[in-house]
Amino acid sequence: MPAVLNRADPRLLDAERLIQQRLGDRRLDFDSMLAVSNIYRAATAVRRRAEKGVLSEFGLSWGGFTTLWVLWVWGEMQTADLAEECDLSKGTLTGVVKTLERRGFVKRSQVASDRRRVTVALTDAGIDTIEGLFPRFNLYEGEMVRELSITEKQTLAELLRRVIVTADAP
Amino acid sequence: MPAVLNRADPRLLDAERLIQQRLGDRRLDFDSMLAVSNIYRAATAVRRRAEKGVLSEFGLSWGGFTTLWVLWVWGEMQTADLAEECDLSKGTLTGVVKTLERRGFVKRSQVASDRRRVTVALTDAGIDTIEGLFPRFNLYEGEMVRELSITEKQTLAELLRRVIVTADAP
DNA sequence: ATGATTTCGTTTGCTACCAAACGGACTATA
DNA sequence: TATAGTCCGTTTGGTAGCAAACGAAATCAT
């Protein structure tokens, strides 16, 4: 997990040796460690980059963008479905939607047939925003993986997909 | 980014078609989109799993664990170096260290030669914790990538490393 | 039907995270 | 040695994120 594990310098070997020393006889699964820690570091780097670049111009966080995007593609949704599709807890989604509502990007409506339920939909301003933003965001995504060939992007996505399935399994 | 993009069902095609429809004539870099969104989803899944499993038993967050781990491997460090190695802003690190200090895992010391500076070191309790925790955490890491061969783990780590370098570049 | 249970979204209390502002401590230039 | 500038870690103010508690609404069981 620390930055040093990915530097192409002798400290990497130092780090591995130090870790093994701390561990004594216990065995160390270095390949798994590096794979998992790189997933996390890549996600952090990619998210920070997006939020500082494209997203900040539109006053959106990563979660806010995701929510807007899902609503744009799928249209008006009930909050429970929206939370699942955005991979957020329902409590978190309440807050994200509240922020988006304050910014004027979405609106809530109560469902007549079941008054516990609430749907969320984009406003016109929300539609304008996501339509202006998404092409730029997609370019940014391309930038983030510009060192990878198409095949490598697909490999990366597929390997990650298998990790997601494993980690999400009950 | 939404969950549906990774389901092996016709909705994936629906999603791609819907997105393209919303985009009109603008081109869509689907491979990059899927690669980037899977990085983020995998990181979230893996982190959640760790925090609900291994880490919760020790009362640690992901960031708290990382900090403990770095201090264990490298020994006492100044906060600026620690923040960089843990990939956290200095403000965030202050909070994480504060929490770890409250739990009795680390202690701070002022540097005599420069009284602005502060070092952080593990306490005995912190050492016991990380020594008990790390082998379990490494097993968990193996679990998260158990569907991948050794070669695939290395490929994944290498592809991600290239993304990290790109995203971290100024 | 009515009481108990379940199912909604929201609220609450907490940690995490960042950027920017801050104040104390060092340093360089005069 | 002043004093202006720089460099520390901390604080502040904001969003994000979760789990658990909550109140209202629907449904189930009797």
Question: Among residues of chain A, what percentage have pLDDT more than 90?
Answer: 76
| B65 and B138 inside one domain | yes
Question: Residue A75 maps to which CATH number?
Answer: 1.10.10.10
For residue B43, being part of any structural domain is answered with yes
Q: Which domain holds residue B96?
A: 60-145
| A108 and A63 inside one domain | yes
For residue B92, being part of any structural domain is answered with yes
For residue B112, being part of any structural domain is answered with yes
Residue B34 to residue A134, Cβ atoms within 8 A: no
Asked whether the predicted pLDDT for residue B161 surpasses 90, the reply is: yes
Q: Which nucleotide is nearest to A108 (CA to C1')?
A: C9
**pTM, 2 dp:** 0.88
Tens of pLDDT, residue by residue over B68-98, are: 999 999 999 999 999 999 999 999 999 999 9
Asked whether the predicted pLDDT for residue A23 surpasses 90, the reply is: no
Tens of pLDDT, residue by residue over A135-162, are: 999 999 999 999 999 999 999 999 999 9
Determine whether B56 is exposed, middle or buried from the number of CB atoms within 10 Å of its CB (0-12, 13-18, 19+): exposed
| A17 and A93 inside one domain | no
Q: What average pLDDT does this structure show over A37-60?
A: 93
Tens of pLDDT, residue by residue over A115-136, are: 999 999 999 999 999 999 999 9
| A158 and A93 inside one domain | yes
Asked whether the predicted pLDDT for residue A58 surpasses 50, the reply is: yes
Task: Determine the pLDDT at residue A15.
Answer: 77
Residues B155/B147, Cβ–Cβ less than 8 Å: no
CA-based nearest residue to B43, from A10, A87, A153: A87
Residues B92/B63, Cβ–Cβ less than 8 Å: yes
| B69 and B135 inside one domain | yes
Q: Among the listed ranges A63-67, A83-87, B20-24, which one has the minimum average pLDDT value?
A: B20-24
CA of A112 to C1' of D29 (A): 26
Asked whether the predicted pLDDT for residue B17 surpasses 90, the reply is: no
Q: How many domains does chain B have?
A: 2
| A45 and A83 inside one domain | no
Determine whether B86 is exposed, middle or buried from the number of CB atoms within 10 Å of its CB (0-12, 13-18, 19+): buried
For residue B8, being part of any structural domain is answered with yes
Residues of A in contact with B163 (CB under 8 A): 42, 45-46, 144-145, 147-148, 156
| A77 and A145 inside one domain | yes
Task: Determine the pLDDT at residue A1.
Answer: 47
Residue A142 to residue B28, Cβ atoms within 8 A: no
For residue B153, being part of any structural domain is answered with no
DSSP states of B21-43: HHHTTS---HHHHHHHHHHHHHH
Determine whether A21 is exposed, middle or buried from the number of CB atoms within 10 Å of its CB (0-12, 13-18, 19+): exposed
| A74 and A140 inside one domain | yes
